[in-house]
Amino acid sequence: MRYAVPFLALFVLGVSPAAQAADVAAGKAIFDSTCHNCHSLNVGVNKVGPSLWHVVGRSSAMIEGYQYSDALKAAHTEWTVAALDTYLANPRADIHGAQMYFKGLPQANDRANLIAYLESQQ
């Protein structure tokens, strides 16, 4: 029972237990070295890719003013932790026709760390 209170606190704060186990600082490093050239974390700032501010829990292809591929528009994906994990492993294999040129993050712990960092950017 003593674990119920911390778990509930994490749930109430909106941070998943998986994100708590991941390394947010390592996720920031991955974002800075891999993602930031194409994606911004600022609201309304799109680059080659759309802004990733508040991406966890958002529906795909929802940023106004960004030209998404037809494949991503048709995907109707909610970017849950699980969906992001699958997509970031191999974006083009997950959503055929996606225009993201990134090959993916093959290491599960790298994906978990990156997703934890993205969750912290809510």
pTM over 0.75: yes
Instruction: Name the β-bridge partners of 78.
Output: 59
Domains, the chain, in order of start with CATH, read 15-120 (1.10.760.10)
Q: In this predicted model, what pLDDT tens digit does every residue of 30-66 receive, in sequence order?
A: 999 999 999 999 999 999 999 999 999 999 999 988 9
Q: Is the pLDDT of residue 8 over 80?
A: no
Buried b (16+ CB within 10 A) or exposed e, 61-93: bebeeeebeeebeebebebebebbbbbbbebbe
Q: Is the pLDDT of residue 97 over 90?
A: no
